[in-house]
Amino acid sequence: MRHNLPDELWLDIFDMAVEDVDFFEPTLPTAFSDASWFKTLYGDWALRTAQEMANNAQRQSCATKKAIMNTCRNWRRLGYEFYYRSLFFSNPRNIQRVCALMDTTKDLGKWTRRLHITRYFASGGSSVETMQNSLVAIIRHCPKLELFIMSWPLSVSLSAVANALCIYSHQTLRVLQINIPTPSLAKLIYMLQCLPNLETVNVEFEGSPPEHIPLGAAGDLELTLPCLQHLALRGSFQDFVEQATAWHLPALKLVSLDFVNYREDFPDIIEFLTEHGQQLTFLDLNCIPPLDIAGILDLCPVLHTFTFNPDWRLGGWEHHQFPESHLVHHPHANITTIGLHHLMYAFGVGYAATYNKIDPFVSQSIRRQNDLNFAALNKRNFPRLERIRVLNSTLLSDLEKNNGPSQSCYERWERWSKQCQGIKSGWRTALELPWAPSRR
Domain count, the chain: 1
Residue 151: the pLDDT is 87
Pairing of strands 45-48, 36-39: antiparallel
User: Is the pLDDT reported for residue 436 higher than 90?
Assistant: no
Question: What is the pLDDT confidence band of residue 128, given thresholds at 50, 70 and 90?
Answer: confident
Residues 6+ apart with CB under 8 A from 56: 48
pLDDT tens-digit profile of 92-113?
888 999 999 999 988 899 999 9
Whether 272 is in a domain gets the answer: no
Q: pLDDT value at position 54?
A: 92
Q: Which residue has the higher pLDDT, 159 or 4?
A: 159
Specify whether the CB–CB gap between 93 and 126 falls below 8 A: yes
Cβ-based neighbours of 197, under 8 Å, separated by 6 or more: 171, 172, 173, 174, 227
**Is residue 343 domain-resident?**
yes
The amino acid occupying position 145 is L
Look at residue 281 and tell me whether its pLDDT is greater than 90: yes
Instruction: With respect to residue 180, please indicate whether it lies within any of the assigned structural domains.
Output: no
Strand partners, 181: 206
pTM equals 0.91
Number of residues that this document lists for the chain: 440
Residue 295 has pLDDT above 60, yes or no: yes
Tell me the C-alpha distance between 306 and 308, whole Å: 7
Task: Indicate the average pLDDT of the chain.
Answer: 89
Q: Are 278 and 302 in contact (CB under 8 A)?
A: yes
Least confident range from 115-124, 256-265, 314-323: namely 314-323
Residue 364 maps to a domain? yes
- Minimum mean pLDDT among 23-27, 238-242, 304-308, 318-322: which range? 318-322
Assess whether pLDDT exceeds 90 at residue 191. Answer: yes
Exposed (0-12), middle (13-18) or buried (19+): which is 432, by Cβ within 10 Å?
middle
Residue 122 vs residue 181, higher pLDDT: 181
Q: pLDDT tens for residues 319-339? A: 555 678 889 999 999 999 999
Q: What pLDDT does 322 receive?
A: 64
Domain-located, residue 338? yes
Residue 28 has pLDDT above 80, yes or no: yes
pLDDT (tens digit per residue) in 9-19: 999 999 999 98
Domain that holds residue 320: 281-427
Report pLDDT for 87.
95
Residue percentage of the chain with pLDDT more than 70:
92
* 250 burial level (CB within 10 Å; 0-12, 13-18, 19+): exposed
Which of 134, 132, 196 has the alpha carbon at shortest distance from 158? 132
| Percent of the chain surpassing pLDDT 90 | 65
Is the sign of the CA dihedral 26, 30, 34, 39 positive or negative? Answer: positive
CA atoms lying within 13 Å on the CB side of residue 276: 29
Residue 376 located in a structural domain: yes
Q: For residue 423, name the pLDDT band (cuts at 50, 70, 90).
A: very low
218 vs 316: which has the higher pLDDT: 218
Does any domain span residue 271? Answer: no
Residue 48 lies in a domain: no
**In a 10 Å sphere around its CB, with 0-12 CB exposed, 13-18 middle and 19+ buried, how is residue 52 labelled?**
middle
